[in-house]
Amino acid sequence: MSFNLAIDLVKIGSILMLDQLKIILETRSITSLYQPIVDKHSGEIFAYEALSRGPSDSPLHSPTQLFEQARKYNLLSEIESLCREKAATGFVEQCLPGKLFINITPQSLAQAGHQEGQTLKLLSDLKLDCSQVVIELTEQFPSTDEGLLLNALKHYQKMGLSIALDDLGAGYSSLRLWSKSRPEFVKIDRHFIQDIDQDLIKQEFVRSFVEIAKSMQCKVIAEGVETQAEYRYLSKLSIDYFQGYYFCKPQARPPLKVDILPIAKESGTAGIKQPSADNLTVHTISVDAEHSVEQLANIFQDKPYINSIAVVETQRVLGLVSRSAVQGKLSRPFGRDLFSKKKASEVVMFNQPLIVDAGLSIEQVSRLVTSRARYCQEDDFVICRENQFVGIGHVIDLLKQVTELQLSQARHANPLTLLPGLVAVNDCIDQLVSSGNEFVVVHFDIDNFKPFNDVYGFAKGDQVILALGMSLQKNYSLERDTIGHIGGDDFIAIYNSKDWFEYVKNAVSCFDKMVKGFYLPQHLKSGGFSSEDRYGVSRFHPIASLSIAAVEVKSGADMDHFEISSRLSPLKHAAKSHSGNVVVINRADNYHLLVDNNLLEPMERSQ
């Protein structure tokens, strides 16, 4: 092929692509697909992301090709405008619940064809409230114009729309933009989500992203979740929302619900209850951005008990002004003449205060304070609920409550495993019953433990107990379930998880592997050992296994921890009457038996 012919073919291809783009715009042949974004805590659909596709028989069907060619021929603004219209129209026509995430590239805003106000008019025509729409800013095409990106965000925030930053961590520019723009949502790049359950480095990155997001009052979306293992690991982190093929693929007519287990908040009823950040509120005084330095100085003078005041605009926190910052400005030579009439928001406001959600536990708030302590010394922090200002909290009050909590936990914790003891477990059960939750209480007991202790010694016996504790802690949901050690070789697990039985089976399997490492080879070979009992009679003792009793507690059940303990008692005896790993479940007033992972079988009550 000659060089000139190759050039001619390229030109023909370019003309064809341009024609395809014009046809798409003329015929409005864009299809919108919707992928659910799922609320971690409720399991409900929080929002849908609209994803655009070109005609199925076109080379521009792929969104990558569609937007790349549109950018190449300066039609990006027109194509994105059509995509937004299709996405919003389909969302309204299907009466989809929650919010709508619409993708847009900052580059489209800079093109000559872009017309300001189109999005607002579209939403108005469709009677779609701005509060329902989230603009997801993507950097599909690299841009070094940071000013353009920030202007794009301000453009939509002025319209009352929320902002989401896509592909967090994909590049240095996204981190810079995040730090400067403070969007309402950030999406963690799929690279960090893929196989995160197996990758320690990715785990550290995501933990860091989450900690920073919480300090900035920014909701986190884990994007591209595709496996159950990824979901289970991410469920243990303070991530707010999930999105990915594991829940639902993008569809033209998406479901209104997805099949996902709801996850309770760490500070809620799913574990041992802790005070929340809401309890740390000391005052609710705030001012708007127009207040002068002198006006704030007067407030501080009238109210000597407050150290800082939040600057708030339409209930959204802009920053924090401290007493010391105001005094520092006014105490300078000519300070009152220079600064008293100026806006406090421009002169003395700290625009990156620690902002925490009112529903966070005090332990979570403490971690946020600690993570910022390396670069920012803070006396106060801001408390919000659903991005709305609630009040101000003192770090010193937080430290007092954390200390009290730690002392209480230490007082009631088991000294060997440091897990919650009997008092804490009973309190947790009563809290769950009073809140109307459905849950399962499971008792774990090690079979043949005393003979093992007698033959191998207390040190080895402690290792076996620790092995069971580790097995249970490896197989539960940190945010939904509670593991307790009530003494000796007895453990209690309180499961809010609907897949609790999978956790139990996995814990049994894990313990079964670990416990065999404590036996001598000859004992393993023979399946146990013989020793004399207290009467001098030689008895054979099999390898340690687990006897497990479980009581399912239904919502609205009229019982407390005493009643549940009473119901567990006959189940424990029934489990002990069988050899091997045994689970006995009290379900719907019937007993069920599982031996060494064989199928459940009904048991007679007499057993």
The per-residue pLDDT for range 532-583, each reduced to its tens digit, is 877 888 899 999 999 999 999 988 888 889 999 999 999 998 888 888 888 8
Residue 388: predicted pLDDT: 86
d(CA 280, CA 138) in angstroms, rounded, equals 37
Distance separating alpha carbons of residues 471 and 446, to the nearest angstrom: 13
Portion of the chain with pLDDT greater than 90, in percent: 32
Q: Which helix (H) or strand (E) holds 418?
A: none
Give the whole-angstrom CA distance, residue 90 versus residue 286: 41
Confidence tier at 599 by pLDDT (50, 70, 90) = very low
CA atoms within 13 A on the CB side of 119: 26
Q: What share of the chain is helix, strand, coil (3-state, %, to 5)?
A: 45, 25, 35
The values of phi and psi at residue 349, to 5°, are -80, 135
What average pLDDT does this structure show over 398-421? 82
Mean pLDDT for the stretch of residues 481-501: 91
Least confident span in 256-270, 305-319, 480-494: 256-270
Residue 49 has which token pair? Answer: 């992301």
* Average pLDDT score over residue span 77-81: 87
For 205, 224, 334, 382, the CA distances from 211, given in Å and listed in that order, are 10, 20, 41, 16
Q: Which of 110-114, 118-122, 161-165, 549-553 has the lowest mean pLDDT?
A: 110-114
Place domain 3-243 in its CATH homologous superfamily. Answer: EAL domain (3.20.20.450)
Over 60: is that where the pLDDT of 141 sits?
Answer: no
For the chain, what is the mean pLDDT?
Answer: 83
For 147-161, 219-233, 507-521, which range has the lowest pLDDT when averaged over its residues? 147-161
Q: Give all strands of the β-sheet with 308-313 in edge-to-edge order.
A: 286-287, 308-313, 316-322
CATH superfamily of 277-401: CBS-domain (3.10.580.10)
Q: Answer for the pair 30, 235: CB distance below 8 angstroms, yes or no.
A: no
pLDDT at 312: 92
pLDDT of residue 591: 58
Dihedral pair phi/psi, residue 111, rounded to 5°: -75, 155
Residue 8 has pLDDT above 50, yes or no: no
- At the fourth CATH level, which superfamily is domain 413-603? Reverse transcriptase/Diguanylate cyclase domain (3.30.70.270)
Q: Identify whether the C-beta of residue 429 lies closer than 8 Å to the C-beta of residue 561.
A: yes
Indicate whether 27 pLDDT > 50.
Answer: yes
- Average pLDDT on 281-303 reads 91
Q: Is the pLDDT of residue 12 over 50?
A: no
Confidence of residue 167 (pLDDT cuts 50, 70, 90): confident
Do the beta carbons of residue 76 and residue 66 sit within 8 Å? no
Q: What mean pLDDT do residues 93-119 have?
A: 77
> For the stretch 547-563, what's the b/e string if a residue is b when 16 or more beta carbons lie within 10 angstroms of its beta carbon?
bbbbbbbeeebebebee
Q: How far apart are CA 383 and CA 140, in angstroms?
A: 35
pLDDT of residue 607: 38
pLDDT surpassing 70 at residue 3: no
Q: Report domain extents, the chain.
A: 3-243, 277-401, 413-603
Supply the pLDDT for residue 452. Answer: 95
> Order of strands, edge to edge, in the sheet holding 546-553?
482-487, 490-495, 439-446, 546-553, 582-587, 590-595, 601-603
Residue 321 in this model has a pLDDT that exceeds 60: yes
Whether 7 has a pLDDT exceeding 60, the answer reads no
The helix-helix angle for 422-434 and 395-412 (nearest 10°) equals: 110
Locus of tokens 């406090």: 344
Q: From CA 370, how far away is CA 130, in angstroms rounded?
A: 36
Mean pLDDT lowest among 259-263, 326-330, 408-412, 485-489: 259-263
Q: How confident is the model at residue 272 (pLDDT cuts 50, 70, 90)?
A: low
Look at residue 322 in the predicted model and tell me its pLDDT: 92
Of 97-111, 370-384, 534-548, highest mean pLDDT = 534-548
Does pLDDT of 213 surpass 80? yes
Residue 54 has a pLDDT of 87
CA distances, 233 to each of 19, 196, 228, 439, 477 (Å):
48, 7, 9, 21, 9
Q: How far is CA 166 from CA 83, 136, 197, 438, in A?
A: 18, 6, 22, 37
- Average pLDDT of the segment spanning 85-92: 94
**3-class secondary structure, 267:** coil
221-264 residue pLDDT tens: 999 999 888 888 888 788 999 999 988 999 999 988 786 644 43
Place 595 in a pLDDT band, splitting at 50, 70 and 90: low
Q: DSSP code of 276?
A: B
Mean pLDDT of 165-182: 72
